[in-house]
Structure 1
Amino acid sequence: MCCLVFTGSIALAQHTALPQIPANTFLVTSFGAAGDGKTLNTVTIQRALDSARIHGGKVIIPKGIFLCGPLQMYSHTALELQSGAILRLRNDIANYPIGNERYLNFISILDATDIKISGPGTIDGQGQNWWTKYTDKELQYRRPQLLFIEKCKRVELEGILTLDPPNTHISLRNCTDVYIHDIRIQAPDESRNTDGINVSARNCTIENCDIRTGDDNIAINFGDRNKGELPQCSDILIRNCFFGVGHGLSIGSFTSGGLRNLKVEHCEFDGTTSGLRIKSARGRGGIVENLRYSDLTIKNCKWPIFFSCYYPKEPLKPEQDTSFADVPFMPVFRNIRCSNIRVVNAGTGIRIWGLPGSPITDCYFENVQINADKPGEISYAKGLRFISSTIKMKPELYHAEVSGL
């Protein structure tokens, strides 16, 4: 069992409990599933999951290619993909199941406790056909996500490879006690909206993962007020992860519920569009505070450090925005610590853009070394301090209180 350990005002956030799964086992081939890559196994695999719903236990996918449609998992259930097992999403879009005006997600888990998905096997979304039709505007509904997990408690994802989803790989919404570790996430950099992990959670650890995809590698989202969603995120730890192609580690852009206590440490970014990214805007913002980024390497990145209160539409220059209006759901970014970070071969060194009525405050950079083609900008910021840090070219400052550069 893990606990929260506080260092100053920042929590070393971790999951606090693991799922407890009964010892029963359910082999999908015993329910009639065939791993020949041709048979559609939706009914038979769902039958195994339904049996686990009654008794609790582990549903096993053995070696083989198991073509399948949307599935539902329930409490006290584990899904194990053994070595050589491929759970492959059907891609016959014309016949694909639809519900609630969208194409159904591949594996959905709702309002459940004690859930685990593990093993060296693969969950394959066969996304290319979906991406092409989406680009050509031939899809009628929103594309399916591979794993959609909502309002669940004690969730563990371990060891699996998620591959080429039609949309997001893994979405966790308003969950508690989440442990994601030693998984691989892969999709081409040109694939549309294939976020690696979208997470809204309390007590969450993500570690030892390799994420290379076409959108945010990890996105922490917490609250779209227009949809009545105001979940709070807190106590999240991300460590020892590799971020390849993708849009980096993002917070936002919907931040209305608030984020407190995030720690990111010992990670490497190589070829991401952004590295550390916090994004929001007037009307979709909330309090984002107590963040610590440490011992990171960021290479070949266009925007290695990008904190903006103007997403998705930024002014050409911050002086174009003169509004001090305090509107509902203003973004507030504060108490951010960045230490022992090395940035190599970046496009723009740093961009920190607060708002006239809501500056970014108390942001510290200690032993941060940035080598970039362009210096970047810092605007509407207070209490920014650089300690033993260097940026190849000094960024432009506008209404910014900065020391140590």
Structure 2
Amino acid sequence: MMKTMVTRQQSTLSSDLQGINQLTADGITGVVDLVESMHQRITSLGGTLNTGDLNRTSGITGFVYRRIRQTTHLITGGLGLALRAVPPWQSAVDNSPTRQQWLSILNGVMGDHLQATGNPLALPMSLQYQKQTLTAQQAALASSSESGHPLLLLHGLCMNDWLWRRHGHDHGQALHQDAQLTPIYVRYNSGLAVYQNGQQLAALLKQFHADLPADKQLQVLCHSMGGLVMRSAMHVAEQAGDDWPERLGKVVFLGTPHQGAVLEKTGNLIDYLLTINPYTAPFAKLGHVRSHGIKNLRHGTITADHQTIQLPPGVDGYALAASTPVEGHQWHQKWIGDGLVSVDSALGGHRHPEREVLFRASHKYTFEQVSHMGLLSDQRVYQTLRKIFSNEPLHQC
């Protein structure tokens, strides 16, 4: 095991409390904005009596709302200064699975906001090996000291590296034992736009491959959003002329919404319906609170300009889908699939052929009676993964 781990600013109780305090201020201000917007729309009969700003009141009413905002910032700002000044709050916090879980959920829901506002609760992208944070160079060195090849694992929305373990099973650890692969987990802020995480991952993997011996080949296993981030990173590398995608082994996608996820499409529709009526339009802001990462799941967006991007030439990609069919309802598999991602989307299919993400027919697999999260623990799925990474013959499921 590596003895010299990456040095980085350690999370403290103070930084956690400062982050929560900052979110409290943002939350109160957001509620005040919503109430004032509703107040203005009601008093102006949906704007018919007032052609001005429908989100702000005027006169004494407007003064009251402004004072509430100012008071909120004054109180939370003072508390933030106090937290930074008191030494007992500077003790390091326990990097427990529970803390990582709520941080990952928070980042998935509003991680773009956390980063944009400089909130200390925003998660940086990192590589995790044996529950330790490593630089790209250290991860490459750790891989070199092990037999077999390195295996990179990318989690999905609101998740982290700890959550690959489900019902006592972890694909990474099992493949380490059965296929001699060295699992290296990526932890990232899943609330950022997919292309932003793709840029960060591309930079990490460029550094990683610079120190990876030529006889080692990076294998990749992605779950859900993690697959979009990996595809984005490969595209970034192609655009930059970097050659590390050519050195990849197999890239396997588990339930990746290549063509989008049903729930986010539903959320976008609700946003639209709310904006139609001037009285309900302020509530659409609540829907917009969800992160760019979540919004990217509507169409499986991996670039800033919403292009349809294929896997780089030579990349050996595999798409694994799941379905939880309801007896007598054929539409379930087509639209709902594993509960979050349809089978067609997970296999890259699209009603317009020019927008399909292409996989070889022999590299596409569907597992029935498996949920989206069940892809992380189902033994049929694992045996297929083991055969893929071990180059064993396998059959379609």
Please, what TM-score do these two structures have when normalized by structure 1? 0.32
Which is helix-richer, 1 or 2? 2
Q: Which structure exhibits the higher relative contact order, with contacts defined as CA atoms closer than 8 Å and separated by 6 or more residues?
A: 2
